[in-house]
Amino acid sequence: MTPPRSYTDQRPLLDRGELTATALVEYYLAQATQHAGLNAFLELFAQEARTRAAALDAKPAHARGRLFGLVLAIKDNIVYRGHRAGASSKILTGFESVFTATALERLLAEDCIVLGRTNCDEFAMGSSNENSAYGPVHNPHDPTRVSGGSSGGSTAAVAAGLCCAALGSDTGGSVRQPAAFCGVVGLKPSYGRVSRWGLIAYGSSFDQIGPLTASVDDAALLLEVMAGPDPNDQTTAPTPYRPSATDGPKRIGILREALESPGLQPEIKAALEQTRDRLVAEGHRVELVDFPLLEVMVGVYYILTTAEASSNLARFDGIRYGYRAEGELDLETLYARSRSEGFGPEVKRRILLGTFVLSAGYYDAYYTQAMKVRRRIQEATRALFAQYDFLLSPTTPSTAFRIGEKATDPIALYLADIFTVHANLAGIPGLSLPAGTDGQGLPIGLQLMADYLNDAELLAFARRLAPTLASLTAHPA
């Protein structure tokens, strides 16, 4: 049998014995093998998944965890004890983790099954999943197009039905942007809501682990299990996470600069306008709001994240683990050769940019100024949430573009994050929801954002909004 896509729908079947964890693992392994051409998985943990499923099936009903039998994929930058983790980079060839990321550990404690690790942009640096050392991930809706990045493998796996859910990481949109391109639900929690312990760092003040799922209910369940303080990550929020219910009319702001952006694909604009009209008809207060800082956010984001990346990636030197240049080399040459050969072009570009903005003579002109603008963005965002419960915008300016279409234009790729970097700069939660298709049948995503640590309220309202978005008609080109 073909299982339901959502774990929320699978669980009653598991509880009644109409479905087993073993059957689910076999189904997803077969699907992953059949669709290997998508290049979503770097490695399948086939025998381990079968063994774990058999052990879970032997558990009595009262001892089953909240995620019993949920078949999960993990992005290649989330570590899992005894398994390889490479951030899809040659520099970490052969590296095997000695511990498990806190977020994954909490999911495993509730009886999920890890099917394998997924492809991603190298060190999560990219918006198309074309920067992986192991080749691009293909979009299940059209294999000639990108899956989005950097969590493209995790997203494509969920969209193609190769697993039930997946973990990604979101530094500037890397969960939400591919979710929009592939037509699934993608959540970036508030900064600090989920522990970063065990996530290979890109931009430490931006990174968050987030779920990719077939439904809002599944995303909410995974967040509830993962969320909470962690002594290994001092940036985790001390406030405990509690699910929320929401009813009654809400105050919703639509970012005028996003709706009226000249680069916004007409079908996506139409989807946003249809959603606005339906929300008004349901009794919500929906207004256009001005946020002129939108035009500077991508620049601020790339100054700050490249600065953090240049520091975070200094540890990968070819000495202690991972790729090491061959030959009898002096220490300085060994460092230079190992890093030059081990890192891909986009990672080297961002390390160089980050080193530049942190260098003497440029630190104040770039890094310090960007930090000041980030503070202004945070303050302006707080002011908006004093007036509105949620902000609504497109997730991306276009639907999925063709593989190779923007490969020679990094600025065009960076601008693919124009609507998603806001949530990372402000530290707030953001959620991408499927919202119909364009004239070519490619998924459209709309983004909902809430105030800091209001993740539960965001998900509760998204449950109400999702059916409205799912019923949107296709928008002809």
Query: How confident is the model at residue 475, as a pLDDT?
Result: 61
E-state strands within 101-244: 113-118, 138-139, 142-146, 165-170, 185-188, 208-213
CA angle 34, 37, 41 (to 5 degrees): 85
Chain centroid to Cα 308, Å, comes to 19
pLDDT tens digits, residue range 45-89? 999 999 999 999 999 999 999 999 999 999 999 999 999 999 999
What phi and psi values does residue 255 have, to the nearest 5 degrees?
A: -70, 115
Query: How confident is the model at residue 246, as a pLDDT?
Result: 78
Chain centroid to Cα 55, Å, comes to 30
Query: How confident is the model at residue 474, as a pLDDT?
Result: 64
CB atoms within 10 A of CB 211: 30
pLDDT tens digits, residue range 35-45? 999 999 999 99
> Considering the chain, what is the average pLDDT of its residues?
96
Element (H, E) at 408: none
Report the distance separating Cα 158 and Cα 297, nearest Å.
30
Q: Is the dihedral of CA 189, 191, 195, 197 positive or negative?
A: positive
For residues 342-367, average pLDDT: 96
**Band of the pLDDT at 428, cuts 50, 70, 90?**
very high
Burial class of 440 by CB neighbour count within 10 A (0 to 12, 13 to 18, 19+): middle
Task: Find, among 316, 303, 100, 353, the residue nearest to 209 by Cα.
Answer: 100
Which range has the worst mean pLDDT, 95-104, 268-277, 284-293, 401-410?
401-410
For residues 147-165, average pLDDT: 98
For residues 26-38, average pLDDT: 98
Which neighbouring-strand residues pair with 213?
Answer: 185
pTM of the model: 0.96
CB atoms within 10 A of CB 265: 20
pLDDT tens digits, residue range 220-278? 999 999 999 999 999 999 988 999 887 899 999 999 999 999 999 999 999 999 999 99
- For 408, the token pair is 């020679």
- For 45, the token pair is 């943990």
Share of the chain above pLDDT 70, in %: 99
Share of the chain above pLDDT 90, in %: 93
Report the distance separating Cα 463 and Cα 184, nearest Å.
14
Give the catalytic positions in this structure.
Answer: 75, 150, 174
Query: How confident is the model at residue 455, as a pLDDT?
Result: 98
**Whose structure tokens read 């909004």?**
465
Cβ 200 vs Cβ 218: under 8 Å: no
**Band of the pLDDT at 476, cuts 50, 70, 90?**
low
**Band of the pLDDT at 452, cuts 50, 70, 90?**
very high
Which range has the worst mean pLDDT, 26-30, 91-95, 153-157, 244-248?
244-248
- For 199, the token pair is 């996530």
pLDDT over threshold 90, residue 415: no
What phi and psi values does residue 85 have, to the nearest 5 degrees?
A: -145, 120
For residues 376-393, average pLDDT: 98
Query: How confident is the model at residue 477, as a pLDDT?
Result: 47
Query: How confident is the model at residue 328, as a pLDDT?
Result: 85
For residues 178-207, average pLDDT: 98
Query: How confident is the model at residue 409, as a pLDDT?
Result: 84
pLDDT tens digits, residue range 102-155? 999 999 999 999 999 999 999 999 999 999 999 999 999 999 999 999 999 999
Task: Find, among 45, 68, 66, 44, the residue nearest to 56 by Cα.
Answer: 68
Task: Find, among 223, 248, 90, 95, the residue nearest to 167 by Cα.
Answer: 223
